[in-house]
Structure 1
């Protein structure tokens, strides 16, 4: 068991340039939601640096946001707020 714990990657906080990917229904509503959630939990993040990729049919979008992660509580709050919306299908 100790070997498994040593092999697993551990995040050291604060962690600059921590990427979070949000997959959801394409559109301005998803982008607005993502910006609001990140402003709430990661003040000072660069909203202009969000990368957006459309699915082949344009139904879904993948938004990647890079923040300075300050702790597990912050990350959990971001994930919980994003997953509470019907627009969001997955958060990685």
Structure 2
């Protein structure tokens, strides 16, 4: 598969999940990243899932994305933030 090919057909709705420590800063950083890439992002539509002991939380957002570079950009910003432990 070449670099230009993708298993995902764009444009499409795509679910992105980020996990980090259950702190207000984690949520704030994740929301800022989503708003940077998706100005129409509505934080009220994000789904939160705390870990069993409440030490960690995940935030899941479904976005309409237009290209692989667009998707790669948000994943890179999530990874670079220092607050996100992993994303998928």
TM class by shorter chain equals 0.7 to 0.9
How many pairs align?
A: 84
Q: Which residue of 2 aligns with 1:71?
A: 67
Gaps of 5+ in 2: none
Q: Which residue of 1 aligns with 2:24?
A: 28
Matched, 1:80 2:76: yes
Contact 1:25 1:61 in 2 (8 A): yes
Deviation at 1:61, TM superposition (A): 0.5
Matched, 1:52 2:20: no
Deviation at 1:86, TM superposition (A): 2.0
Q: RMSD of the alignment, in Å?
A: 1.6
SS in 1 for 2:41: coil
Q: 1:40-85 deviations in whole A, cap 9, x for unaligned?
A: 1112122211000111111110100111011111111101111112
Q: Which residue of 1 aligns with 2:86?
A: 90
Structure 1 length-normalised TM: 0.83
Question: Partners of 1:11 and 1:80 in 2: how far apart?
Answer: 18
Matched, 1:43 2:39: yes
Aligned structure 1 segments of 4 or more residues deviating by more than 2 angstroms:
none
